[in-house]
């Protein structure tokens, strides 16, 4: 059996009791280590589980999945995912591969940023399409997220923005030369995401009336949600440009229309706006 086990967001002990029972008995335990990060390291997990945990990077999961699946044909294999197993499409692909090989699987769910974002006070059923914001380079500035945010705001819906993670990435030069040399990990911050968001209307030559948002638009910055050090701040995009939310992981929400109860909750996290507006 292949078990896909969600670890939750904040602590090694956030794994479910059922998930922990599987981990302790499985022949192999893999930890997916590139779509998200846990606030504790692999050693803390191994101490809790009482066994070895094998780090599974993008190359292993996406190109060498048979290494994970081969034992699952006859033994129990645990595949651990920070958050919920289906928070990334990669894990859906792993399930498809297992089914193609007639390998039975079970999914043990857990909290992910997709539901834990409710901690800021914006109701989950008022969110539109989630977007991803990737690091720009000098000659590559994808901005399709803008259109989705604009569409959500036009419908009065909130937008959850998932921010880029660069783990075990190669430079173009090293990739072309076939050198297994990797760049240091990078995790996009709220301020970096907002900076890119505010650049898009300028790049598209949109005036203030045409743009879906500007620096006065209210937004929510979130960091390390689910951990004891989680932070939530609510303010203008301009204020979030200079607000340091500390270590990763960060997320951003661009609100749509807000119910008075949503506003009442959000203003508890206000950093630069008049709370009397509620």
250-254/159-163 β-pairing = antiparallel
* DSSP sequence for 175-209: HHTT----PPPEE--HHHHHHHHHHHHHHTT--TT
CA distance 85 to 223: 20
- Residue 191 counted as an annotated binding residue: no
Q: How many residues does the chain have?
A: 278
Please choose, from the candidates 12, 18, 84, 77, the residue with its C-alpha nearest in 3D space to the C-alpha of residue 49: 12
- 112 labelled ligand-binding: yes
163 is in an annotated binding site: yes
Tokens of 251: 């997320």
Q: Does the annotation place 139 within a ligand binding site?
A: no
By DSSP bridging, strand 105-108 and strand 2-6 are: parallel
Q: Is 164 annotated as a binding residue?
A: no
Q: Is 243 annotated as a binding residue?
A: no
- Would the annotation count 39 as a binding residue? no
Specify binding-site residues for S-adenosyl-L-methionine: 9, 84, 87, 112-113, 163, 250
Specify binding-site residues: 9, 84, 87, 112-113, 163, 250
């Amino acid at each position: 059996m292949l078990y896909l086990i969600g670890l939750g967001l904040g602590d090694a002990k956030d794994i479910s009791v059922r998930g922990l029972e599987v981990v302790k008995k499985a022949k192999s335990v893999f930890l997916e280590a590139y779509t998200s990060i846990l606030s504790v390291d692999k050693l803390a997990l191994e101490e809790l589980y009482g066994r070895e945990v094998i780090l599974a990077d993008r190359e292993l999961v996406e190109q060498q999945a048979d290494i994970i699946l081969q034992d699952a044909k006859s033994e129990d294999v645990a595949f651990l995912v920070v958050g919920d197993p289906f928070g990334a499409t990669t894990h859906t692909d792993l399930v498809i591969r297992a089914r193609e090989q007639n390998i039975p699987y079970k999914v043990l769910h857990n909290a992910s940023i997709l539901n834990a974002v409710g901690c800021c006070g914006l109701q989950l059923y008022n969110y539109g399409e989630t977007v991803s914001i990737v690091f720009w380079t000098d000659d590559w500035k994808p901005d399709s997220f803008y259109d989705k945010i604009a569409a959500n705001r036009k419908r009065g819906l909130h937008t959850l923005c998932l921010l880029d993670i660069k783990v075990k990435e190669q430079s173009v030069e090293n990739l072309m030369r076939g050198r297994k040399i990797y760049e240091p990990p990078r995790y996009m911050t709220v301020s970096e995401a907002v900076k890119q968001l505010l650049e898009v209307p300028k790049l598209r030559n949109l005036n203030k009336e045409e743009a879906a948002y500007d620096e006065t638009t209210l937004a929510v910055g979130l960091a390390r949600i689910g951990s004891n050090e989680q932070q939530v701040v609510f303010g203008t995009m301009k204020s979030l440009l200079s607000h340091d939310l500390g270590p990763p992981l960060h997320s951003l929400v661009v609100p749509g229309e807000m119910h008075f109860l949503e506003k009442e909750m959000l203003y508890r996290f206000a950093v630069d706006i008049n709370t009397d507006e509620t």
